[in-house]
């Protein structure tokens, strides 16, 4: 929780809220990964049991047995990216919510009613 008591940040609550939300995101991502691995391993075990039974019956040779393993692994390969996409989407949502909260705050320092607009410097200066 570095920077919470920094003079430039007199209100440490947004940092604390952001860190708690980051822990929730990491926890939900870990739960998603565990669930994916359970489904993958259960499917792989079931497919290999059926393949082993077919091999013992003589209708499968060792090449088909290996092909089932490769097929199951290739079938679940896109799920590995799902966790990454999920983390990015949820993290972006949290960032968007924090940005909305910042934009909703009223500024402490306002321009004077007779303030003139700043001139933009010319390029090359």
The yes-or-no verdict on residue 38 having pLDDT over 90 is yes
DSSP 86-118: HHHHHHHHHHHHHHHHHHHSPPSS---TTPPPP
Please indicate, yes or no, if residue 2 is contained in any of the structural domains: no
Q: Residue 56: which domain range? A: 45-92
- Tell me the whole-structure pTM to 2 decimals: 0.55
Please indicate, yes or no, if residue 77 is contained in any of the structural domains: yes
Please indicate, yes or no, if residue 120 is contained in any of the structural domains: no
Backbone angles phi, psi at 6, to 5 degrees: -70, 140
The yes-or-no verdict on residue 46 having pLDDT over 90 is yes
Distance CA 65, CA 28 (A): 35
- The total number of structural domains in the chain stands at 1
pLDDT in tens, 67-118: 998 998 888 888 777 777 887 888 888 888 888 888 888 878 888 888 888 8
What CA–CA distances, in Å, run from 69 to 41, 43, 59, 79, 80? 11, 10, 17, 16, 17
Distance CA 43, CA 37 (A): 10
pLDDT at 43: 92
Please indicate, yes or no, if residue 107 is contained in any of the structural domains: no
């Amino acid at each position: 929780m570095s920077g919470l008591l920094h003079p430039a940040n007199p209100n440490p609550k947004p940092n604390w809220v952001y860190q708690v939300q980051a822990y929730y995101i990491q926890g939900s991502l870990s739960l998603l990964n565990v669930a994916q691995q359970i489904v993958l391993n259960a499917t792989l075990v079931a497919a290999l049991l059926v393949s082993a039974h077919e091999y013992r019956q003589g209708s499968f040779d060792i090449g088909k047995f290996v092909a089932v393993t490769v097929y199951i692994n290739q079938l679940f390969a896109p799920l590995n990216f799902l966790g990454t996409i999920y983390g990015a989407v949820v993290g972006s949502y949290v960032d968007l919510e924090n940005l909305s909260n910042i934009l909703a705050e009223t500024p402490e320092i306002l321009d004077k009613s007779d303030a003139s607009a700043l001139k933009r410097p010319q390029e090359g200066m």
